[in-house]
Amino acid sequence: MGTSTGYSLPKTGNWPEAKREVTAWGSSGTSSPSQMRRVMGDYIQAHGGATMAAQQMAAASRAGARFGGLLSGIRGEGLGSALENRGLGHLIGRPASEVWQGIKDYLSGDGSSLDDELVREAFDDFQEEVIGQYETYDELDAALTRLAAMDIVGENMERLFGHVVYKKFTRDFSERIYKAAANLRQANRRLREIKDYIFDTIRANLYGRDVNQFDWRGQAGLQMAEEIQASVWRVFVEG
């Protein structure tokens, strides 16, 4: 995912330093964890810190709160009732791809803004990694029921926000990395390395807070999702 047309990064604050660090890393013949730690640390400082980074991705927090509520609903009521109670009853019994599309619309809107589109892409990657691909409603029902029953809502949200962090990083810097790298292979390698670094760091520093019984409705749900998102951003500064 490259830099979107009409999208540009700020030129003030800590952004120039973050851009220089990314350019130097992208053009380097080698890559090390310390380099990637500096890249991510400067990137988060450019946002004004982890809390500000999460606040600036409000679309992700909204989607995360709805996702947490959906998983909790599936765990307590089953997929059909969870969909019905969220105005998605028309999806019951439909093919899995149609159900997932409807769930994505519910979670992150129609993708009309850059951040909504980013969140939808993050959900696609999360689905592929954690949930899997299915053809029928019953197959998707069984997969989501298994996921909801595992009591790892917090861990799943951390994984989701990890995909958000990576998608936002690539939106902000992939074009710069492709220009700085010696060739396409090196640029693609840098993006794979930073993705691995992001998820390795999350796994090493976050263990999933206990939010399985949390009521995700209203402002409290949004605040909790924003706190979890901020904790994900924070590991790259404190981890």
pLDDT tens by residue, 25-38: 999 988 999 999 99
pLDDT tens by residue, 165-179: 999 999 999 999 999
pLDDT tens by residue, 92-116: 999 999 999 999 999 988 767 899 9
CA-CA distance, 26 to 94, in Å (whole number)?
45
In the chain, where the domains are located: 15-57+154-238, 61-149
pLDDT tens by residue, 207-239: 767 777 788 888 999 999 999 999 999 999 875
- pTM of the predicted model, to two decimals? 0.91
pLDDT at 2: 44
Average pLDDT score, the chain: 91
Q: Give the residue-averaged pLDDT of 136-161.
A: 90
Decide which of 84 and 5 is more confident.
84
Closest Cα to residue 126, out of 50, 178, 202? Answer: 202
Closest Cα to residue 50, out of 168, 154, 129? Answer: 168
Q: How far is CA 13 from CA 97, 234, 237, in A?
A: 43, 19, 17
